Structure 1
Amino acid sequence: MPKRILNVVTNVAHYDDPGHPTGLWLSELTHAWHVFEEAGYEQTLVSPAGGKVPLEPRALKFPNYDKTAKAWFNDPAKMALLENTLSPDDINSADYDAIYFTGGHAVMYDFLDSAGLQRITREMYERGAIVSSVCHGYCGLLNTTLSDGTYLIAGKHMTGFAWREEELAKVDKLVPYNAEKVAKERGGLYEKARLPFVPYAVVDGNLVTGQNPASAKKTAKEVVALLNK
C-alpha cells in the first residue's frame, strides 16, 4: 500500500481588512506535493471548512511563482482540486501516514482553532504518524493539545515563519498575532535560520516543521525520509 499524505490548505481569502487579500501560498503546496508524488504517495486535500481554497496573490509572482506553481496553476485538473477540498469531518485520521500543513497568512485565521484539524493532528501524532508544517502552517499546531492536555509542541524543537520575516514582508501590522511568540508561549523550542527567507527545517521525533516558503521542499523531503525508514 502506498503511503498517504493529508495536505491541509486554507479557506480564508483576506486579512481582517478585506482590502488586503491573502490565501494559500501555492508553492508551499506544490513543492511538497511534487516531492510526495515522486515518492509514490497518495495525497488528499483538506481545509478547515471544506470547499474552495483562495490563492495568495503574492505567491503568484516571481520568485515564488516557479515551475511547480506554474504547472499547477495552468493545470485545470489540479486547480479543480482547490475548488472542492474535503472538510475535517470527512477524514479518518487512521487512513493517513502524515499530515502536512501548508501556509500563507490566511491560515493564521482558520487553522488556529479548527477543532476538526486538532482532532486529526492529535490522533495522528499520538499513534506515531508524522505531523508536519511549513511557514505559517505551524499556526495549525499552536493550540493543538494531546490527550493529556499538554500542547503538542511543548518541549519540541520546531520552527515556522519568523516575526522578523513578518516585518521584512511588511505585514507585521496586518497579521492577527505573533505566531513565533505564541509558539514559545506554548512551550515550543522555536528555532530559525540565521538569515531570513532561506530554507530551514527542524525534525523532532515525528514532528517536522519548515520555516518559510523556501522550506517547503526541504520539509517534504524530511517527511519522506521518516516515512521511508
Structure 2
Amino acid sequence: MPAATNKILIIVTNADEYQKVGLRTGLWLGELTHFWDFAEEHGFTMDVASPSGGKIPLDPESLTRQMLDAEGTGKRYLDRDFMDLLKDTMKVSDASVDDYDAIYLTGGHGVMFDFPQSKDLESLIARFYETGRVVATVCHGAAGLLNVTLSNGEPLIKGKRVTGFSWPEEELANRAQAVPYNVQEGLKKLGADYSTAAQPFAPHVVEDGRLITGQNPFSARAVAEAVVKQLVTE
C-alpha cells in the first residue's frame, strides 16, 4: 500500500450547460460540501481539480433553499474562503497521484459532458486504482468511470459492484430528454453489477474493495464515511 498522505483529490466539472437544451448545469454543490465536511472532521485535507482547471460553475438546482438547508451546504455557500476554492481550480493533468490517498468524483449533470471526454482524468483514475488507492464517485460522477481502462485492457468497472444516478431518478428530475446518455445503462453495458436503493433519491452506497460509489446527491456524506473508514483502517 502507498504511504498515507491524509489528502484526498476531489474532481469537479467545468461544464455549465446542456448541449441539447438551454438549461444551466455545473457542480452539484452539496456533493462537494457533504463529502468535504465529513472528511475534514476526520483529519483529511483536500484539493479540488477539474478537467480544464479554472472557475467552476454551480448547478442552479443545487442552490435552492431545500438543497442549501441540507447538511450544512448553505453555511459553506456563505463561506467566502470555501467558495474561493472553486475560483481557480487545478487542472487534472497537473495532479500527482503520489500526493493523495483517494480520488473522489463529484456530480452535477455537467460531469456527463466533460468527465468521459478527459483522457487525463481517465489516466489519473486508473493510476489511483492500480496503485492501491481509493476511487470514489457520487451520483453522475460515475460517468467519469465509463472510459477508464486498466493496464490489462479491461474496463475498471467490469465485474465490479457499483451504483450511480439511476434512470428513474433522471426522469423524476425532468432531465431524461436533456442528458446525452443514460449513466445507469452505460455502467451496466461495461459489465458492472449495478444496483439502486429501493426508492429513488434514497441514500445508497456500494463498496467493491477500493471502489466506492454513491447513487445520488443524498449519498455524498455516506460515500465520505465509506472512504474515510477505508483510509483510517488500512
TM-score by length of 2: 0.95
User: Matches of 1:185 and 1:49 in 2, distance apart?
Assistant: 28
Query: Retained in 1: the 8 A contact 2:51–2:93?
Result: no
2:18 equivalent to 1:15: yes
The CA deviation at 1:113 is 2.1
Deviations 1:141-168 (A, max 9, x none): 1110001111000000000000010001
The CA deviation at 1:2 is 4.8
Query: In the alignment, what sits opposite 2:8?
Result: 5
The CA deviation at 1:62 is 3.4
Aligned length: 229
Deviations 1:160-192 (A, max 9, x none): 000010001110000000010010011111110
Cα RMSD for the two superposed structures: 1.1
Query: Retained in 2: the 8 A contact 1:93–1:123?
Result: yes
2:37 equivalent to 1:34: yes
Query: In the alignment, what sits opposite 2:222?
Result: 218
Counterpart amino acid of 1:177?
Y
The CA deviation at 1:68 is 2.4
Query: Retained in 2: the 8 A contact 1:156–1:188?
Result: yes
2:55 equivalent to 1:52: yes
Query: Retained in 1: the 8 A contact 2:25–2:108?
Result: yes
Query: Retained in 2: the 8 A contact 1:158–1:188?
Result: yes
Query: In the alignment, what sits opposite 1:102?
Result: 106
Identity across the alignment (%): 47
Question: Helix, strand or coil for the counterpart of 2:123?
Answer: helix
Write out the 4+ residue segments of structure 1 that deviate beyond 2 Å after TM superposition. Answer: none
Deviations 1:66-101 (A, max 9, x none): 252212211111111101000012111111100000
2:157 equivalent to 1:130: no
User: Matches of 1:194 and 1:18 in 2, distance apart?
Assistant: 31
Q: Which runs of 5+ in 1 are unaligned?
A: none
Query: In the alignment, what sits opposite 1:77?
Result: 81
2:177 equivalent to 1:173: yes
Deviations 1:196-229 (A, max 9, x none): 0000000000000000000000011000010011
Question: Helix, strand or coil for the counterpart of 1:176?
Answer: coil
Deviations 1:111-134 (A, max 9, x none): 012111111111110011000000
Question: Helix, strand or coil for the counterpart of 2:17?
Answer: coil
The CA deviation at 1:53 is 0.5
Q: Which runs of 5+ in 2 are unaligned?
A: none
TM-score by length of 1: 0.97
Counterpart amino acid of 2:114?
D
Counterpart amino acid of 1:71?
K
Query: Retained in 2: the 8 A contact 1:2–1:40?
Result: no
